[in-house]
A and B are shown apart, each in its own frame.
Chain A
Amino acid sequence: MEMLAPNIYEELQGPGQFINILVDESWNIPLRRPMSIAGANRDQLTIIYKVLGRGTKRLVTKLRGDFLNILGPIGNIFNQDKFNNHHPILIGGGIGIAPILWLHNVMKGGSFQHELIIGAKSKSDHFLKHQPSRKIYLTTDDGTLGIKGTVMRVLQQVVNQLYEPMIVACGPAEMLKVIQTFLIDINIPGQMALESYMACGLGICQGCVVELTHSHQEKHSFGEKFSLICRDGPVYDISRVRF
Chain B
Amino acid sequence: MANLKVSIGGVEFNNPVFVASGTFGYGNDVSELVDVNQLGAIITKSITFHPREGNPPPRIIETPSGMLNSIGLANIGVDQFIKEMIPYYASLETKVIVNIAGSSMEEYLNVLEKVEKVGENIYGYEINVSCPNVEKGGMEFGVNSLMTRNLTELLRKRTEKLLIVKLSPNVTDITDIAKGAKEGGADAISAINTVIGMSIDISSRKSNLATKFGGLSGPAIKPIGIANVHKLSSAIQIPVIGIGGITSAEDVVEYLLAGATAVQIGTANFRDPGIGVKIIAEVDAYCDSNGYYDMSELTGALVNDS
What residues make up the interface of A, taking CB atoms closer than 8 Å to B? 22, 27-32, 69, 196-200, 202-211, 220, 222-226, 231
Contacts and interface: CB of A to CB of B under 8 A. Distances in A.
Contacts of B62: 29-31, 197
Contact of A207 (B30, B53, B69, B218): B69
Given A27-B219, A31-B271, A223-B53, A205 B30 contact: no
Contact of A204 (B23, B53, B54, B63): B23
B65 A27 contact: yes
Interface stretch (B9-17, B70-78, B233-241, B278-286): B70-78
23 contacts: A22-B271, A27-B218, A30-B66, A30-B67, A30-B271, A31-B270, A196-B57, A197-B58, A197-B59, A197-B62, A202-B29, A202-B273, A204-B24, A204-B29, A207-B59, A208-B60, A222-B51, A222-B52, A222-B54, A223-B53, A226-B54, A226-B56, A226-B74
Contacts of A222: 51-54, 74-76
B269 interface: yes
| Chain B interface bracket (under 10, 10 to 19, 20 to 34, 35 or more) | 35 or more
A43 B249 CA distance: 35
Contacts of A197: 58-62
Given A69-B272, A199-B60, 11 more contacts: A30-B267, A204-B273, A206-B45, A206-B71, A207-B59, A208-B59, A209-B57, A209-B74, A222-B51, A222-B52, A226-B53
B25 interface: yes
B74 A223 contact: yes
A243 to B, nearest CB: 11
A199 B25 CA distance: 13
Contacts of B22: 205-206
A203 B74 contact: no
Contact of A203 (B25, B56, B65): B25
A225 B57 CA distance: 11
B175 interface: no
B60 A30 contact: no
A224 B80 CA distance: 14
Nearest to A223: B53
A28 to B, nearest CB: 8
Contacts of B57: 196, 208-211, 226
Given A22-B271, A204-B29, A224-B53, A199 B74 contact: no
B235 to A, nearest CB: 30
A205 B22 CA distance: 7
Contacts of A22: 271-272
A184 B218 CA distance: 43
B228 interface: no
B194 interface: no
Interface in B236-285: 247, 267, 269-273
Contacts of A199: 60, 67, 69, 267, 270
A27 B23 CA distance: 17
A202 B271 contact: no
Nearest to B25: A204
A23 to B, nearest CB: 11
A231 B32 CA distance: 14
A82 B65 CA distance: 44
Interface string B72-92: 001110000000000000000
A209 B74 CA distance: 11
A65 B54 CA distance: 42
Given A202-B29, A204-B25, A204-B270, A30 B65 contact: yes
Interface in B32-64: 33, 45, 51-54, 56-63
A207 B71 contact: yes
A210 B56 CA distance: 8
A225 B52 CA distance: 10
A154 B33 CA distance: 45
